[in-house]
Structure 1
Amino acid sequence: MTSNTFDVSLLKISKTDVIDVKAVGGDTHLSGEDFDTTLVNYSIQEFKKKISEDVRGNPRAMGRLKVACEKAKRDLSSSIFAAIEIDCLYEGIDFSIRISRAKFEELNSSYSEKCIKLVEKCLFDGEIKKKDVDEVVVVGGSTRIPKVQRLVEEFFDGKTLCKNMNGDEAVAFGAAILAARLSGNY
């Protein structure tokens, strides 16, 4: 199951491991899928420039393009360039482009900036200054994008991000805390 949301949580953990949720925030309409969609739209434009055909009316071609763009996004998390290559994308016509991480970041700059605004708002809501944050833990889809990581590090004045937590475990842990709080057992 995929989550189409960008979530931010601000926690205060005491020396005795008591967790106090200071603030939560996010956007249910911002996710890694938005970054994929931007790349899909860019690819459609590039195909149209080369072939003068619009693939939007072909569900099979669109599905294949979406899969290829999602893979390219993942590849760009660890490489500077990625290829989007699809044999017989539309009416027997092959499609192939190479995209740089810089171009991907440019295409998605508004989403990256939106992620930082959500972090900023969560700190404001929790009445915590960024200098008072001891550790920044990032998990999940869009936090794997180097530009998002860079912006978060810059926002926290160069603080090293903790990126080694399993996303599913983090979500399960947070859900358990929320359930305990709602039931009054926390």
Structure 2
Amino acid sequence: MAKNIQAVFVDRDGTIGGSDSVVYPGEFTLFPFASESIKLLKNDNKMVLSFTNQPGISKGEAKREEFEKELIEFGFDKVYMCPHQHHEDCNCRKPSTGMLLQAAKEYSLDLEHCVVIGDRWTDIMAANEVGCIKIIVQTGAGKESIQKYNNKEYYGVWAKVEPDYIAENLLDAVHWLLKWRGEKC
């Protein structure tokens, strides 16, 4: 694993707050540890990038600008968001890698020196495809995703991918990442 982490991609719903379903801006509440987690990463000079599927945008239920404004206010450096629904066959909706590849191109990132933190196996799959460090949290849909993995409910390539770390929550994930790098939190 790379010790020189260039960027950390963090999922929104279930990872930094909300629940295992989409909560729209204005109603979304951060977990108590989310702000501290983002600050720890930024204090360590890490670019913190949002990495989120938001199909409500294409349904007309919310606006992209509302999500972007909210996430920037939470401390993210840049927002990468897929506004498409499952059936729209785009290349950005996780587990596809479009958002990660776009960020890599824009910031000249080596994705093998980046981290993805999320609560769904789709986050882990996208990270795996491009060589990122993979951390799944047990908040949001995380416990259910981990249970499905442990019960061998995922098939094919989904079953062959393992997270690098299973974290209690985002703060635990950040602490692990910083300690793993040999730094004190």
TM class, shorter-length:
0.3 to 0.5
* TM-score when normalising by structure 2: 0.32
* TM-score when normalising by structure 1: 0.32
Between structures 1 and 2, the one with greater strand share: 1
Bigger CA radius of gyration? 1
Higher relative contact order (CA 8 A, sep 6+): 2
